[in-house]
Amino acid sequence: MTAVEFDEAREYDGDQFSAVEAFRSDRMKVVCGYFEPGQFIPVHAPSSDVVISVRSGTGVVRDGETDRRVEPGDVVVVESDTDRGIKADEDDRLEALLVTAPPPTDAEHEPVRAGLRRGEFDPRGGAE
């Protein structure tokens, strides 16, 4: 059994969101995500489903063409091959548990790396 204490795993990074991996197998990846105000996971569309369970703070989850407001207690599921991203509000930290199945490949995360390098929530040029 793998057990992670969310509060003890907490790590913030002043430059970009922090993803603390709690579990990984060939079938699933679980991370604790910690976002300073305004930080984000850029929009990308990997071939995996994701469950986002918001623990604290507020922000937006992109699901295809829709930006959905989220707050503590919200659970959002985005299906595979659908544009997705997460962004903390400008005035609040955001903490969420993210479960992806199967884990995205390194190549599928290139839009994430590109967006972080350029400071763009949607590196494909979509609305923010």
**Predicted confidence (pLDDT) per residue in 45-72, tens digit:** 999 999 999 999 999 999 999 999 999 9
The predicted pLDDT at position 1 comes to: 74
Judged against a pLDDT cut of 80, whether residue 22 lies above it is answered with yes
DSSP codes, the chain: -----HHHH----SSS-EEEEEEE-SS-EEEEEEE-TT-EEEEE--SSEEEEEEEEE-EEEEETTEEEEE-TT-EEEE-TTS-EEEEE-TTS-EEEEEEEESPPPTGGGHHHHHHHHHT-S-TTS---
- Residue 128 confidence (pLDDT) above 70: no
Overall average pLDDT of the 19-45 stretch: 96
The pLDDT, as a whole number, for residue 125 is 64
Per-residue pLDDT tens digits for 69-85: 999 999 999 999 999 99
**Has this prediction a pTM greater than 0.85?**
yes
Q: Judge: domain 9-112, CATH 2.60.120.10.
A: yes
